[in-house]
């Protein structure tokens, strides 16, 4: 979407308001135009504001208008309204997880991966980087340095995730020299590349499950993180806790979410004795 396209959109807006003379452009008209895109991403809002500002400055310098209306284009901080994250319904998440064939190695891997996203909110980059030493079986925790923030974070090793990992590591993961937990299941069985698109895993099972996701809900793993955050808020979990679980740099990053209870998660953690007996 180019700057020219954005300017054309502005001109179309002027036409809708029956503005035929550039001198008729007012701060009110500019404000009305801004309201047509304030729900877009921060980057898109900024691009639209810059395009309008440049256009109005240009026609002023060319002598087409007597007033520099570019000065009337508001700053982004005054108008930007972040999108409310799109979330999945619980039954949609359940249907996708239940359709995974956990009787084959790839299914075991994919099930463990998707559980980590849906129950802990791990980013794809952190899942790809997850190593065997990050799983602390003796303390029932997963300890990582987050790729995006470089912050250290400790997650509880939930029972469902723990058993899924055990199943994969013992009966699904191919023999490999890699110490990454999740590897490709085609020779030479290496870890996922940093730029590998893990969204394909989710899309594969969405199609198999026949789940009809609303058009506005993204099909990527990030939407599952949004869903977890929303669930946490619904359970009255403080934004600070949600921010820590999702690995945000600031609590402000979670202001757009409205509820998980870390204590409740920990209560669901694996019993070390169960792991020992399984081994």
Which is the catalytic residue, given 102, 108, 128, 248?
248
Which is the catalytic residue, given 109, 128, 225, 226?
225
Residue 196, token pair as written in the block: 């590998």
**What is the phi-psi region of residue 175: left when phi exceeds 0, alpha when psi lies from -120 to 50, beta otherwise?**
beta
Rounded distance, CA 105 to CA 103, Å? Answer: 7
Asked about 248 being catalytic, the answer comes back as: yes
Which is the catalytic residue, given 148, 200, 214, 240?
148
Which is the catalytic residue, given 17, 53, 57, 222?
222
Asked about 185 being catalytic, the answer comes back as: no
Cβ neighbours around 71 below 10 Å, total: 11
Asked about 257 being catalytic, the answer comes back as: yes
130, containing H or E segment: none
Rounded distance, CA 140 to CA 269, Å? Answer: 6
Which is the catalytic residue, given 123, 128, 173, 184?
123
Rounded distance, CA 120 to CA 142, Å? Answer: 10
Asked about 17 being catalytic, the answer comes back as: no
Within 8 A by CB and 6+ apart from 71, the residues are none
Rounded distance, CA 99 to CA 117, Å? Answer: 16
Asked about 58 being catalytic, the answer comes back as: no
The SS3 of residue 145 is: strand
Residues catalogued as catalytic = 123, 148, 222, 225, 248, 257
């Amino acid at each position: 979407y180019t700057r020219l396209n954005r300017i054309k959109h502005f001109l179309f807006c002027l036409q809708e308001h029956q503005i035929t003379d550039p001198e008729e452009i007012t701060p009110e008209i500019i404000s009305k135009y801004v309201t047509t895109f304030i729900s877009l991403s921060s980057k898109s809002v900024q691009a639209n504001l810059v395009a309008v500002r440049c256009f109005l400055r240009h026609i002023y310098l060319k002598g087409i208008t007597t007033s520099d209306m570019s000065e009337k284009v508001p700053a982004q901080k005054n108008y930007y309204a972040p999108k409310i994250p799109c979330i999945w319904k619980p039954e949609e998440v359940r249907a996708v997880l239940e359709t995974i064939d956990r009787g084959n190695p790839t299914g075991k891997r994919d099930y463990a991966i998707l559980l980590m996203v849906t129950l802990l909110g791990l980013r794809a980059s952190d899942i790809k980087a997850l190593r065997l030493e990050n799983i602390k079986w003796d303390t029932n925790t997963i300890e990582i340095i987050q790729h995006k923030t470089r912050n250290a974070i400790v997650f509880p090793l939930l029972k469902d995730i723990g058993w899924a990992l055990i199943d994969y590591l013992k009966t699904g993961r191919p023999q490999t020299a890699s110490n990454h937990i999740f590897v490709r299941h085609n020779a030479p069985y290496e870890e996922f590349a940093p730029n590998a698109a893990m969204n394909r895993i989710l899309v594969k099972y969405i199609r198999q499950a026949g789940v009809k996701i609303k058009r506005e809900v993204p099909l990527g793993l990030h939407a599952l993180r949004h869903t977890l955050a929303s669930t946490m808020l619904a359970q009255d979990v403080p934004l600070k806790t949600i921010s820590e679980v999702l690995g945000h740099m600031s609590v402000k990053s979670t202001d757009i979410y409205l509820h998980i209870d870390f204590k409740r998660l920990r209560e669901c953690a694996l019993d070390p004795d169960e792991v020992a007996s399984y081994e």
